[in-house]
Amino acid sequence: MQATRSAPIPKSLRELFWDCRFASLRWDKHRDFIVTRVLAEGTWQQVRWLRSRLNDNELKEWLIGRRGRGLSRQQLRFWQLVLGLPHRQVTGWLACRQGIWEQTVRR
């Protein structure tokens, strides 16, 4: 049975939120923060919990809407494969991220 949208986040995710007041996190208020952390740093069990809240299509749309922000290059490529994001689109997001340091290093 799925918990209500305002229910506390399960204790199994506590380790991901070491830098904030875990007990105050709520799905309805902190959804983007929670999704980003779980996709970026979660174990497969924690990701399974997330996928019980958002199906793969919803996760895909969430990533598209944020243009992959909050995920590293490697993490974004992983989710590209898992969720079937278009390669060209993800490559475009990553190209837009390149700052001065990346441009200097790659020359």
Number of structural domains, the chain? 1
pLDDT for 1: 39
Residue 67 located in a structural domain: yes
Longest dimension (CA), the chain: 53
pLDDT for 8: 73
Residue 75 located in a structural domain: yes
Residue 6 located in a structural domain: no
> How many C-beta atoms lie closer than 10 Å to residue 71's C-beta?
19
Residue 44 located in a structural domain: yes
Residue 52 located in a structural domain: yes
Residue 5 located in a structural domain: no
pLDDT for 2: 47
Residue 36 located in a structural domain: yes
Rounded Cα distance, 56 and 78, in Å: 14
List Cβ neighbours of 50 (8 Å cut-off, separation of 6 or more).
Answer: 34, 35, 38, 39, 42, 59
Residues of the chain with pLDDT under 50: 1-3
Contacts 24+ apart (CB under 8 A), 50-55: 52/2, 53/2, 53/27
Under the phi-then-psi rule, with left for phi > 0, alpha for psi from -120 to 50, and beta for the rest, what region is 29?
alpha
Contact between 47 and 36 (Cβ < 8 Å): no
pLDDT for 97: 84
Residue 34, domain extent: 11-106
Q: Which two tokens stand for residue 44?
A: 């497969």
Residue 35 located in a structural domain: yes
